[in-house]
Chains A and B, each alone.
Chain A
Amino acid sequence: MKTRIHRRTLLKGLLGGAAISIGLPPLECFINANGTAYAGGGSSFPKRFGVFFWGNGVLPARWNPTSEGTDYALSPQLMPLSALKSDLTVISASRVLTTNSSPHLSGPTGLFTGDAIVGGTVTRPSIDQVLAAEIGGETRFRSLEIGVQRSDNSYSYSGPNQVNPPETSPRAFFNRLFGEGFRMPGEMTAVDPRVRLRRSVLDAVGGQASDLRNRLGAADRIRLEQHLEGVRGLERQIARLEENPPNLAACRRPDAPPEAYADLEGRPQMSAISRAMSDLMAMALACDQSRVFFNMYSQSVNNTLFPGAPAGHHQLTHDEPGEQPMVDAIVRLIMSDLAYFLTALRNVPEGDGNLLQHSIVLCTTDCSYGRSHSIDDYPLIIAGSGGGALATGRHIAARGENACKVSLSILRAMGVRAPEFGVGAGRTTDGLSALSP
């Protein structure tokens, strides 16, 4: 039989009730204790949450606006976002307070999970997955993870060692969303009997595991559970196919993007891929295929050769002398790709407003000044207001504030009754008050 699956993935067994072999950090914290989402309420359009992340930081002197409030002037690096100014809140001067022990990794981990890196991984799920657990159950996909730079890495974690790798091929993302199984609203035809069979197969897969579960140590049982949770998620996804899709006026099946985006002169087509992904994601959200996403534009420490740059991005952040004009050009290019993405969301009309207004997109990177890996003065942008739950159109200089306050504000704006966010130095029980509308 021709099988190409070679998994080395190991589960360790139990002997007389005692776990053998490897120990993992305790995973109790994985269980979400953030309370439940408010049921329904307010706008009839769903709220969405997403992250837009890029690697290697900014140039603080050219990133931070010099004036504050609603009447502020955009900084040079933020200029590509000028057409979206009224939909954005720029937050400067806050700090990630968890330990900065790992260059590039500590900042986003602290912001997204509220804790430091322990033993090479996160201790808790990232904010997108906290929200996916709350609001992801109603849609075909609990959450969608995409990226532009080819990589399996991400800051989206369902728990320790549980990374959600990004899809970086526009065609594969298209097939997943709009290929077999996608139906337009009103397109309901007789359900293929094979859909039910697929579900019964997944049901059997879950059943097969029960005996194994009892023979595993606690850590491996959790890993097995996580896998089975994925299987159950797929079952739910298939169940959605047996239902009539929601009637959403803006939903269209987009054209399929090209099969591949070949490197041009050894340089990846970052902008072209990002824009194709943006259009697909906007339609995925418009068709309510998911309400949570993580867009991993580029990785921490990535050495991508951007157009016109004489060296890889990461190397330039460290080695380019002086004012770093090349690094500056790269950050502005990324901001223009971000502008395209946010504009694609804004172009989806929903009622009297648009999809971006009904969303909260947290846009950030892995440090402020790439050259020194500083996580003070953390670069943060919030796009969209979550249906009016957050203030927009302003620059907030949150001097010395805990950046996790922003994370907590977002959770609450998304309707989660969260008493706090983060642990240890990152912990906060208050949101950032200036974000209140």
Chain B
Amino acid sequence: MEPDVPLGGSVSVGAASTSISRRGVEQYEALAYDLAEQLLRTEARRARAVGCTPTGTADATCAETFLRATGRRLWRRPLTDAELNALVTLAGNAATTLNDFHRGLEYALAAMLQSPHFLFRAELAEPASGSGTARFSPYSLASRLAFFLWNSPPDDALLTAAAEGRLDSEEGLRAEVERMLASPKLNRGLRAFVTEWLGLQRLDAVSKDPMVFTSFSSDVPAAAREETLSLAEHLAITRDADFRDILTTRETFVNRRLASIYNVRAPSQTRADGFGLITLPADSPRRGLLGHVSVLALAAHPVSTSPTLRGKFIRESLLCNEVPMPPVNVNTALPEPSASLRTMRERLIQHQVDPTCRSCHLLLDPVGLALEHFNGIGAWRPDDRGARIDPSGNLDGASYRDALGLTQTIHDSPSFPRCVTTRLYRFAYGRHETDGEEAEVGRLTQDFAYGGYRLRRLMSSIATSAAFRRADGVAGRQP
């Protein structure tokens, strides 16, 4: 399946400006017939899905019943009469050609599945009563809510709420958002957000030299992603805790593979997928997200660490600082390790001396060097090939002694909750915030703080905000 292409590092933002390639169209066609067959070829599924017994090869009434109900779910709104008629005709023609009512339905279903009404989310606006502003149509709002909170299309109840006008009122909207936040589908939305926020989809393509990292195997990337997603779920949903704990908690989720990389005992009680909740020892140098294999392996090279990439991750993903592109026509070679340049810190010194490099690398390397005790896949190492590692440094004036100190500094920085808010806002809106919207992001950040930094509450604040419903931008103008 062709993925949405990320834009500015964000898949949900990319989705708002990319289209579907020709190969994607071909793949959708094949998939549409595959799904239609799955649904309509086996007796049991068919009976449940179709809901009526055809009177003959062509039965327009029965076809219409099925297509009306299915269309509403797939297109996330009721079909117009013209749309419905066209599909009923298509099903009838195919049924006659193939002399089989249900085969005929397959073609109409395949048409719905390949339709732009299914593949694209059209957000349509209408005038908001009396105010001279625009709001999203109730069905568009239902899709916005569902893709944001559930990363899924709206369910029947939400579509019914839209149809009955209940999303138009403050109370009605709150009631639906409350219901959605209590649904198990919230996990899907949260996982999609965290994956995008931390770039975890890139774990699919990570490669590590197995000669250098002997404990790395092809199942590690998926396990590493599961750890981070499980912890986020645990904090944000199960415990509804202060989300900043994701940086400092000693709790995490591991399977046997990750336990061996972390050199801890595998969990005694596990879920069906082999993962279990553990608490790292009190004296563990590893805590929270910056101790996860996912982050540490992604922000590293196939054979070594990379303080530069790790610094970039912290700046961009945790603090939302802008890091400029590296300049061109610069010799970027690092000196090889030698007797005088034993550690990464020593080898990177050129970055601090050369005036071209200095301005950016001062932002990046010193921060990333705090994580040098974690090797290129995130396993602990006491030294760098025998040389002592110095993990101390300072983050924008606040000095720290080691990785835990850095983690605490980020945890205490007002930039972190603001950054989480900004990233969640982009995920919800499917685009970057614009100038007029900084006040809204600021307001949401404050609200996040008042509520004890609970991510679920932040999701609720965004979903129920007036801005999320307005189709003409927060500032009441074209964004």
Contacts and interface: CB of A to CB of B under 8 A. Distances in A.
Report which residue of A106, A141, A230 has the largest number of chain B beta carbons within 10 angstroms of its beta carbon: A230
Interface string A201-222: 1101101110110011001000
A162 B209 CA distance: 34
A384 to B, nearest CB: 25
B272 interface: no
B331 A230 contact: no
Interface of A: 1-16, 18-24, 100-103, 106, 120-121, 141-143, 145, 150-152, 158, 161-165, 167, 176, 193-194, 196-198, 200-202, 204-205, 207-209, 211-212, 215-216, 219, 223-224, 226-228, 230-231, 233-234, 237, 263, 265-268, 303-305, 310-312, 315, 318-321, 371-375
Given A20-B125, A215-B124, A227-B20, A305 B207 contact: yes
B121 A21 contact: no
Interface in B193-252: 205, 207-211, 216, 218
A330 to B, nearest CB: 13
A21 B303 contact: no
A371 B124 contact: no
Contact of B107 (A12, A161, A197): A197
B18 A20 contact: no
B116 A315 contact: no
A24 B29 CA distance: 28
B478 interface: yes
B333 A20 contact: no
Contacts of A3: 35, 113
A161 B83 contact: no
A176 B26 contact: yes
Contacts of B17: 22, 24, 161, 219, 223
Contacts, number: 273
B187 interface: no
24 contacts: A5-B31, A7-B4, A13-B140, A15-B125, A15-B472, A20-B472, A21-B471, A21-B473, A22-B479, A103-B325, A103-B328, A162-B18, A165-B5, A201-B114, A208-B117, A209-B115, A215-B122, A216-B122, A223-B120, A228-B116, A230-B21, A266-B207, A371-B331, A372-B332
B25 A234 contact: yes
Contacts of A315: 301-304
B320 interface: no
A103 B207 CA distance: 22
Interface in B11-26: 11-12, 14-26
B207 A303 contact: yes
B362 interface: no
Given A231-B25, A372-B328, A120 B115 contact: no
B292 to A, nearest CB: 20
Given A7-B121, A205-B114, A319 B11 contact: no
A8 B147 CA distance: 7
A15 B20 CA distance: 25
Contacts of B328: 100-101, 103, 106, 372-375
A101 B208 CA distance: 30
B151 A9 contact: no
Contact of B83 (A7, A13, A208): A208
Shortest Cβ-Cβ A-B pairs, 8 listed: A13-B124, A230-B25, A266-B210, A15-B125, A312-B302, A8-B15, A10-B16, A226-B19
Given A18-B478, A165-B2, A318-B334, A11 B12 contact: no
A193 B97 contact: yes
A22 B431 contact: yes
B4 A8 contact: yes
Report which residue of A2, A3, A145 has the largest number of chain B beta carbons within 10 angstroms of its beta carbon: A3
Interface string B95-121: 001100000000100110111111111
Given A19-B478, A193-B98, A223-B17, 11 more contacts: A2-B38, A10-B16, A22-B431, A163-B5, A200-B93, A201-B90, A204-B111, A230-B24, A312-B303, A319-B333, A373-B329
A224 B83 CA distance: 18
Report which residue of B19, B26, B114, B478 has the largest number of chain A beta carbons within 10 angstroms of its beta carbon: B19
A219 B431 CA distance: 15
A375 B326 CA distance: 15
Contact of B119 (A7, A13, A23, A121): A7
A200 B87 CA distance: 11
B324 to A, nearest CB: 11
Contacts of B124: 13-14, 215
B90 A9 contact: no
B191 to A, nearest CB: 12
B304 A8 contact: no
B86 interface: yes
B126 interface: yes
Contacts of B49: 1
B8 interface: yes
B49 to A, nearest CB: 6
Contacts of A165: 2, 5, 21, 23-24
Contacts of B93: 197, 200
A318 B347 CA distance: 13
Given A7-B119, A197-B107, A200-B93, A321 B335 contact: yes
Report which residue of A161, A197, A219, A311 has the largest number of chain B beta carbons within 10 angstroms of its beta carbon: A197
Contact of B329 (A201, A267, A374): A374
B134 interface: yes
B99 to A, nearest CB: 10
A31 B263 CA distance: 59
Contact of A1 (B39, B123, B301): B39
Given A21-B471, A318-B332, A371-B332, A152 B122 contact: no
